[in-house]
Amino acid sequence: MRRFNLSEWAVRHPPLVLFMILSLAAGGALAYLKLGRAEDPDFTIKTAVVSVRWDGATTSEMQDQVVDPIEKKLRGLPYFDYVQTYTTPGFASLIVNLRDSTPARDVPELLYQLRKKLDDLRPDLPAGIRGPVVNDEFGDVDSVLYAITAPGADYLHLKNVAEGLRRVLERVPQVQKVDAYGYQDQRIWVEFSHAKLATLGISAQAIFDSLARQNAVAPAGIVETGAQRVPLRVTGALDGVAAVAATPVQAEGKVFRLGDIATVRRGFEDPLTFLIRSDGTPAVLIGVVAAKGSNILHLGDDLAHAVAEYESTLPAGFTIRQIADQPTVVAHAVGEFMHSFVEALAIVLAVSFLSLGWRVGIVVATSVPLVLAFVFLVMQSLGLELHRITLGALIIALGLLVDDAIIAVEMMVVKLEEGWDRLRAASYAWTSTVFPMLTGTLVTAAGFLPIGFANSAVGEYAGGIFWVVGIALIGSWFVAVVFTPYLGVRLLPDRAARGGAHAGI
């Protein structure tokens, strides 16, 4: 029984193979345009920070009564590796690390279990503590940062402009969330003179107690009717400067109005504990986190358009300046790959033209874009993005894409020079070299196998090298045994008709 010959099948079905070539080229180009783009691949941070506050506690009390019970509870967490603890008077921070081999898909469930264990432990911790609070979202990276400035404007106006920009950017497609930095919250300050209070016979504690009583939130009762329950609330809550100034302060049988014995004003924290400046001017920042799998280049264009429209509505003096631009970095990386691709294609063409002739050079050079089209299609189906790892893998693969095609076309040229007809010469490439080529392809791909299946953070971050190189090598083998024979039959010259047959290999 005659064995199936894929190269012979391709030559005998030219319309179908031509349709496959055109479909692959069109599909690959479309997939390339739709592929997500990012600076780095997504990876899972297997760390969480647990914070606890206990005002007035010493370092020893924090360690013995708070930190030690929490650490003991956390050691029962699956995939727990180690915890780093930083304890100061009244505060403790625990950095909980999961093992590097923790599957990424299990991390959200493990963080949920972490919170559940801390909730179960909370009744056993001292009264008056605040927390434990778990933070596991510090791994989000702002793809774009905007600085909002206005000479002479206070932080209230900067915050209002920033909140408006936040609402605009949250509506942009492919935006996961929008962060704000540098806000300065307003407070109501009560400033008094101890000497004046002493003259009036009022203690500072009397002022504190009066404010606490006036601002207490407590149920005032309920009015029940036949079908309704109406809660009662007492008015007079401290909701502004005027309400605070009108607070009564009682001392030694006398009642004073707080605004008469102290200065009540609204203002920002002074001195500021956190300050952002842009070119020496106070500023607030707005950061945009891109959604997973988004095209960062398209996102950058959409953000620029949205910011330009919003900035045109701002009062004179307010400026929005972009100070971090990941889309530009990604565009530069993709541009470098395209430059390397054009260089590789030019080198292949030049070497093939000089050593084999222009017809053979065209056959070999055509295999490169066809293989890349195959790679882009598979990458899109697997959810892989274009970033520094996959782009690096593609650049590595560029030097390997033409090997199989050169072997196949050289075999055809040799057999044509020996006087074989085109169909037989094209079929011989399959018969004599298909399995050696496939073996070499698989062995080369296996060189990247460890990093592709590494059960660690390195494997999660850099595993795309194996998948992209492996896809490219398999694609180059398929192109060499299907498309290259078809193109060779159409483009290679009939050397036997010119005489000078080759002696064979």
126 in a structural domain: yes
Q: Looking at this protein, which amino acid is placed at residue 131?
A: G
Closest by CA position to 37, among listed 332, 293, 288: 293
Across residues 158-172, what is the average pLDDT? 89
CA–CA dist 364, 376 (Å, integer):
20
* 459-487 residue pLDDT tens: 888 888 889 999 999 998 888 888 888 88
Across residues 46-66, what is the average pLDDT? 89
17 in a structural domain: yes
Tokens of 85: 């603890």
Same structural domain for residues 362 and 481? Answer: yes
Q: Which residues lie closer than 8 Å to 371 by C-beta, 6 or more apart?
A: 401, 472, 475, 476, 479
* 266-275 residue pLDDT tens: 877 777 777 8
* 188-236 residue pLDDT tens: 888 888 888 777 778 888 788 777 777 666 666 777 776 777 777 766 6
Look at residue 86 in the predicted model and tell me its pLDDT. Answer: 92
Look at residue 504 in the predicted model and tell me its pLDDT. Answer: 37
Residue 101 lies in domain:
47-135
CATH at 64? 3.30.70.1430
Q: At 100, phi and psi to the nearest 5?
A: -65, -25
503 in a structural domain: no
Residue 282 pLDDT > 80, yes or no?
Answer: yes
Same structural domain for residues 470 and 364? Answer: yes
Residue 495 pLDDT > 70, yes or no?
Answer: no
Look at residue 19 in the predicted model and tell me its pLDDT. Answer: 92
* 364-401 residue pLDDT tens: 888 888 998 999 999 988 888 888 888 888 888 877 77
DSSP bridge partners of 136: none
472 in a structural domain: yes
What predicted TM-score, i.e. pTM, was given to this entire model?
0.70
Q: At 26, phi and psi to the nearest 5?
A: -65, -45
For residue 304, give the H/E element and its range: helix 296-311
Same structural domain for residues 363 and 482? Answer: yes
Whether 148 and 158 have beta carbons less than 8 Å apart is answered as yes
CA–CA dist 309, 271 (Å, integer):
35
Across residues 139-166, what is the average pLDDT? 84
Percent of the chain with pLDDT over 90: 8
Same structural domain for residues 19 and 70? Answer: no
279 in a structural domain: no
Look at residue 22 in the predicted model and tell me its pLDDT. Answer: 92
Give the confidence band of 497 by pLDDT, cuts at 50, 70, 90: very low
Across residues 71-92, what is the average pLDDT? 89
Q: CA torsion 175→179→180→186, rounded to 10°?
A: 120
CATH at 384? 1.20.1640.10
Same structural domain for residues 12 and 63? Answer: no
322 in a structural domain: no
267 in a structural domain: no
Neighbours of 63 (CB within 10 A): 15
Instruction: Tell me how many domains the chain contains.
Output: 2
Least reliable range by pLDDT among 229-243, 339-353, 491-505:
491-505
Burial class (CB in 10 A: 0-12, 13-18, 19+), 98: buried
Same structural domain for residues 26 and 64? Answer: no
Averaged confidence pLDDT in the chain: 82
Look at residue 498 in the predicted model and tell me its pLDDT. Answer: 47
DSSP bridge partners of 95: 49, 84
Q: At 481, phi and psi to the nearest 5?
A: -95, -10
Q: At 357, phi and psi to the nearest 5?
A: 105, 160
Q: Which of 85, 114, 135 is the last residue of a domain?
A: 135
Angle at which helices 403-417 and 358-382 pack, to 10 degrees? 150
Q: Which of 82, 115, 135 is the last residue of a domain?
A: 135
Look at residue 388 in the predicted model and tell me its pLDDT. Answer: 81
Look at residue 501 in the predicted model and tell me its pLDDT. Answer: 44
CA–CA dist 473, 386 (Å, integer):
18
How distant, in Å, are the alpha carbons of 15, 401, 402, 494 from that of 7?
14, 18, 17, 19
Same structural domain for residues 64 and 101? Answer: yes
162 in a structural domain: no
Same structural domain for residues 372 and 434? Answer: yes
Same structural domain for residues 119 and 10? Answer: no
Q: Which of 77, 111, 135 is the last residue of a domain?
A: 135
Whether 147 and 320 have beta carbons less than 8 Å apart is answered as yes
Give the confidence band of 411 by pLDDT, cuts at 50, 70, 90: confident
DSSP state of 104: G
Q: How many helices (H) and strands (E) does the chain have?
A: 20, 15
Cα 440 to chain centroid, rounded: 36
Look at residue 39 in the predicted model and tell me its pLDDT. Answer: 75
Q: Are strands 80-88 and 91-98 parallel, antiparallel or unpaired?
A: antiparallel
